[in-house]
Amino acid sequence: MKVLLIGSGGREHALAWKIAQSPLLTKLYAAPGNPGIAEHADLVALDIDDHAAVVGFCQQSEIDFVVFGPEAPLVAGSSDRLREAGFLVFGPSQAAAQLEGSKGFTKDLCARYNIPTGAYQRFNNAPKAKAYVRAQGAPIVIKADGLAAGKGVTVAMTMEEALAAIDDCFEGAFGAAGAEVVVEAFLDGEEASFFVLSDGRHALALASAQDHKRVGDGDTGPNTGGMGAYSPAPVMTNAMTARTMKDVIEPTIRGMAEMGHPFTGVLFAGLMITERGPELIEYNVRFGDPECQVLMMRLRSDLLPLLIATAKGTLGEVTAEWHDDAALTVVIASKGYPGSYQKGTPITALPANSDTCRTFHAGTANKDGKLVATGGRVLNVTATGSTVGQAQARAYDAVADVEWENGFCRRDIGWRAIAREKAGH
């Protein structure tokens, strides 16, 4: 089978590494890819937002299966163009990708199908949104409706912050994504990420993870795309997973099918585990980055047949096997991130890969035969261990072997799970 993987980050490097191990694979292409992905795939210099170019490449190269990493082309309808041209695709339709592309869409789905989530209202103007916020009081959460690269959410602890966030949205801080605003009740609890595959009818539970969004140790400082993650998430016990499947995931899959937008692909539920049980914070329609890196390290099964079953509607016939070991990834980012940072700084040494440790490339390029950093988040040093603590120790041992002067990382990825391990539960 000839496979095209769309994307160029650490998530896609982890997917490429795993897909490349499949006996079903004859050839893997990645567009546009990165130097890490190039170890497993032929890179194709395609503009992934140019849907006609992607379809053209697939026709020319006789691609059998297309796997989407990032959400943007899905929300823009690239998977529909490929399906219309007759290709088998892993990734939801544009209509189903609204689960990530429109927070209001997802909240309405939750209301209609009784899926637990914070109480909310949708607004298209500031005065009405402000009146609602004043009536509700703080803390309260203000969200731009559309895709805002993870920046459109304000968890406002005070009324002033909430009102300012409403102004930001309607004054265009997030462009078109902020033309509509969702105001949502503040949920208190522990967050967890939960991943399932769905073929439109069945849902296959994958695994859970927790990430660290803040840039600084102790979960301080500004939000980022994610500075590290580990899997499994201790709060996602078997009982909590079963409840999440029944109360959150299954009604979503059923509801999307009933509404005529069957969801196929990977569904990433951002959950708040509250005193009342799991409540939905948000959906994403792709693997998390860096959560995907830890999931792929833990997945024992061949990934490719799972993705194919998702795309073909035969997910009821497959199972996913997992290693018992935990996995943890440390993101090494360019100094300055998530603010401005220098591009093109040299990376002169990387840790050796082994059965328990692997470095994924997230934002690198080859320049005159040398590896350089091109992104904010640049490397994902990932390790497994019998406990999160052991995985963390192995990951930071490997981080010490990275030679990159302009890089930095958090030193406490996994702290919450490790504190629990130390406390003996």
Q: Which residues bind ligand AMP (CB under 6 A)?
A: 118, 141, 150, 153, 155, 184, 186-187, 191, 270, 281-282
Q: Tell me the C-alpha distance between 227 and 10, whole Å.
A: 12
- Closer residue to ligand AMP, CB minimum distance, 67 or 281: 281
Q: Which is nearer to ligand AMP, 45 or 149 (CB)?
A: 149
* CA-closest candidate to residue 361, choices 380, 342, 382: 380
Strands (E), 50-202: 65-68, 88-90, 120-123, 140-144, 153-156, 181-185, 190-199
Rank residues 270 and 277 by Cβ distance to ligand AMP and give the closer one.
270
State the nearest-atom distance from the C-beta of 282 to ligand AMP, in Å. Answer: 4
CB of 225 to ligand AMP, least distance (A): 11
Measured CA to CA, the distance from residue 186 to residue 197 in angstroms comes to 28
**Token pair for 43:** 């890179």
CB of 226 to ligand AMP, least distance (A): 10
Identity of the residue, 41 or 273, whose beta carbon is nearer to ligand AMP in the bound complex = 273
Give the shortest CB-141-to-ligand AMP separation in angstroms.
Answer: 4
Structure tokens at 269: 């539920």
* Lookup: tokens for 206: 């994958």
Two tokens, residue 67: 């796997």
CB 117 → ligand AMP: shortest distance, Å? 8
Shortest distance, position 348 Cβ to ligand AMP, whole Å: 35
Q: Rank residues 78 and 284 by Cβ distance to ligand AMP and give the closer one.
A: 284
Strands (E), 295-369: 326-334, 345-346, 357-361, 364-367
**DSSP label at 352?**
P
CB 423 to ligand AMP: min, Å: 23
Residue 42 or 191 having the CB closest to ligand AMP: 191
Q: Which residues contact 346 (CB under 8 A, 6 or more apart)?
A: 370, 371, 372, 373, 404
Upper half-sphere CA count for residue 312 (Cβ side, 13 Å): 13
Nearer to ligand AMP, 71 or 184 (CB): 184
Residue type, 272: M
